[in-house]
Amino acid sequence: MAPGLFRLLWLSVAAAVATITLKTVAWLLTGSVGLLSDAAESVVNLVAAVFALGALRVASRPPDRDHAYGHAKAEYFSAGVEGALIFVAAAIIVGSAVNRLINPQAITDVGVGLAISAAASVINLAVGQRLSRVGRAQRSITLEADGRHLITDVWTSVGVILGVAAVALTGWERLDPIIALAVAANILLTGARLVRRSASGLMDRSLSHEELAQIRQVLEPFEVGGRRFHALRTRQAGRQAFISVHVLVPGAWTVQRGHDEAERIEAALRERLPYATVFTHLEPIEDPRSFDDIALERDQGTAP
């Protein structure tokens, strides 16, 4: 795995430390529970970034005797933990907000506090966009999840800043904890999406519809001269993809010819999806038994 990915995660850690410091100062200056909720989310960012570093190191390990397909799925644990941490942060925010609803409190030094919070948001936006962009390009769910969380944090901060400014202008003190509750609801949605995506990856979800369409485009030109394909199966494991397909060819072909054809097909698939590991299985098209293994298990049926 490219060292640049680890450098980006260290950048995420540094950004989290900086924003926690700035947002905590903003909260201490103003006494706003809305700004406190914003700082609490940044603490989650820091813990998640540190955990992501460990998960990415595990995911980058080469295959070994006990993990013949590699360790790429470790990235899904990172995204899942980040989602779970978000739920913890939301609970803390809700507790603080409910207490402030019951016991309203005036906020102070709003101008300076909001300026500091805005500076923290600029840091998060820059780092979040960078992580998301590289995460998509490198197919790293860890980087992409971290980046999306930071960008979500930015929009949360914008809402908090506008809300706290409204409290200062209107004098309606209970608006401050209402803003904090809105922050909690927003980050809960983010956490739910991260947990769902992590669980989906651990369940060996197939490649996207776009990628499946690309695979079929690659295979289509080979379907000539009595050749066919079936039992196409794909799965995603972190940054790695796996493609399995059965190649049906005339039974009169020599082993060498069938092998050469399989090599051509695998090379074409890898060229289109360079992050994929491709497995092919040759079968004689005239043999009825070649159609008995279309399902994952033979006893699940033989319908194509």
Q: Are residues 160 and 22 in the same domain?
A: yes
Verify that 182 and 220 share a domain, yes or no: no
Q: How far apart are the first and last CA of the chain?
A: 39
Other CB atoms within 10 A of residue 211 CB: 18
Amino acid 138: pLDDT: 76
Same domain, 180 and 251: no
pLDDT-based confidence at residue 304 (cuts at 50, 70, 90): very low
- Per the structure, how many domains does the chain have? 2
- Same domain for 231 and 197, yes or no, is no
Q: Are residues 272 and 288 in the same domain?
A: yes
Rounded to two decimals, the pTM is 0.63
Based on the domain organization, do 53 and 195 belong to the same domain?
A: yes
Domain range for 169: 3-202
Q: Which of 202, 226, 259 is the last residue of a domain?
A: 202
What's residue 296's pLDDT? 66
pLDDT tens digits, 115-149: 998 999 899 899 989 888 888 777 777 777 778 77
Last residue of a domain, one of 165, 183, 202: 202
The one-character DSSP state at 254 is -
Strand order through the sheet with 228-237: 228-237, 240-249, 276-284
Q: Confidence band (pLDDT; 50, 70, 90) for 244?
A: very high
- Answer whether residue 303 shows pLDDT above 50: no
Please indicate, yes or no, whether residues 236 and 284 belong to a single structural domain of this protein: yes
Would the CA dihedral through 48, 54, 57, 59 be positive or negative?
negative
Report whether pLDDT(299) > 60.
no
Given a contact cutoff of 8 angstroms between Cβ atoms, the answer to whether 190 and 148 are in contact is yes
Query: Which CATH number is 223's domain given?
Result: 3.30.70.1350
**Distances, alpha carbon 261 to alpha carbons 217, 219, 257, 281, 284, in Å:** 17, 12, 6, 11, 13
- Residue 91 and residue 192 in one domain: yes
Pick the most confident of 118-132, 144-158, 169-183: 118-132
CATH number at residue 109: 1.20.1510.10
Question: Does one domain contain both 194 and 116?
Answer: yes
Q: Are residues 144 and 226 in the same domain?
A: no
Same domain? 35 vs 91: yes
Are 159 and 83 part of one and the same domain? yes
pLDDT of residue 88: 78
pLDDT in tens, 71-120: 877 777 777 777 777 777 778 778 877 877 888 777 888 888 889 989 99
